[in-house]
Amino acid sequence: MVNTDVSLCGIALDNPVIPASGTFGFGYEFAELYDINCLGTFSFKGTTREPRFGNPTPRIAECTAGMINAVGLQNPGVDKVVSEELPKLAKVFKKPVMANVSGFSVEDYAHTCAVLDKQEQVGWLEVNVSCPNVHGGGMSFGTNPDAAAQVTRAVKAVTRKPVIVKLSPNVTDIVSIAKACEEAGADGISLINTLLGMRINIRNGKPVIANTMGGFSGPAIFPVALRMVYQVSGAVSIPVVGMGGVSTAEDVIEMMMAGATAVEVGAANLTDPYACKRIVDELPSVMEKYGINKLADIIGRAHG
């Protein structure tokens, strides 16, 4: 029997597979299909202080081996997440969940995290300073080390739960931002959010996405994500959650060898609703194939 256990910021996971925020809602669409307790955990839909409708449609464009989304953080707002979504989730998911938080000011992040800190179901706070689809917030905090550190400090001040800062790949030096978050007290780093991308409809010469640009995800970005996970995990001593184009058990192993302690799966959930269950199911046999007895042993193996 192989061992898929990992520990993420002091919380044990049965396996490192985590559906990524924005691709798994609040879990119950998937709970209709399979028992989502087979997952390590999942990161719920990015939550903000106030309810948000998000961007105009079209919000989706297809790409080679991937897709662009410009949803723009549609969510019911933290108060409704606490009063409606979490009680519904509690019926189908018994493990600690990862709460994904976004904001438009440092105070927003702190407020939303303070509210979620009081929720027993929440295991980790994943602080998204990297949403490419909103103006005046999101990614603007994640493209500057000082701003990212400021958000990290503000959030750390209001919670005792582990804080994982989710970083944007749309920067020149992701390592400096990761280090700034670590110095500011982050308990973990997750990366990468989507890459800023664009498609044009050649019939009319106009952008496909109403918001012009959006976040590119899917298997096409896997090598970029892997490279950044490798760079960041080599430079920080806190755990790294790797994501970006992961769609197979082999991808999970590769991501962990690059330095990821756990691995998020995003766009794959949208094209194959059973993607995460399949990865969890296949992980033991793929480990056996590569002679891996204990998954935690391969974290960072590529660093030598």
Partner 1 sequence: MKQTILKITENTPLTPSVFRMRLEGDTDDLRPGQFVNIKLEGLFLRRPISVCDYDDGRLTVIYKVVGHGTELMSRMGIGETLDVLTGLGNGYDLDVGCQRPLLVGGGVGVPPLYYLARELIARGRRVSVVLGFNTASEVFYEDEFKKLGASVTVTTADGSYGVRGFVTDALDENADYFYACGPEPMLKALHRATEIPGEMSFEERMGCGFGACMGCSCKTLTGNKRICREGPVLKKEELLW
Given the rule CB under 8 A, which residues bind partner 1? 22-25, 29-30, 32-33, 45, 53-54, 57-67, 69, 71, 74, 208, 218-219, 267, 269-274
Of 72 and 145, which has the nearer Cβ to partner 1?
Answer: 72
Alpha-carbon Rg for the chain in angstroms: 18
Of 147 and 270, which has the nearer Cβ to partner 1?
Answer: 270
**Minimum Å distance from CB 269 to partner 1?**
6
**Minimum Å distance from CB 102 to partner 1?**
14
Of 125 and 267, which has the nearer Cβ to partner 1?
Answer: 267
Of 25 and 123, which has the nearer Cβ to partner 1?
Answer: 25
Of 267 and 298, which has the nearer Cβ to partner 1?
Answer: 267
**Minimum Å distance from CB 31 to partner 1?**
12
**Minimum Å distance from CB 45 to partner 1?**
8
**Minimum Å distance from CB 280 to partner 1?**
16
Measure Cα distances from 103 to 49, 257, 281 in Å.
7, 32, 35
Of 173 and 272, which has the nearer Cβ to partner 1?
Answer: 272
Question: Which residues on adjacent β-strands are paired with residue 273?
Answer: none
- The answer to whether residue 38 is catalytic is no
- Catalytic one of 38, 63, 113, 131: 131
248-276 burial: b if 16+ Cβ within 10 Å, else e? bbebbbbbbbbbbbbbbbbbbbbeebebb
**Minimum Å distance from CB 52 to partner 1?**
10
The residues that are catalytic are 131
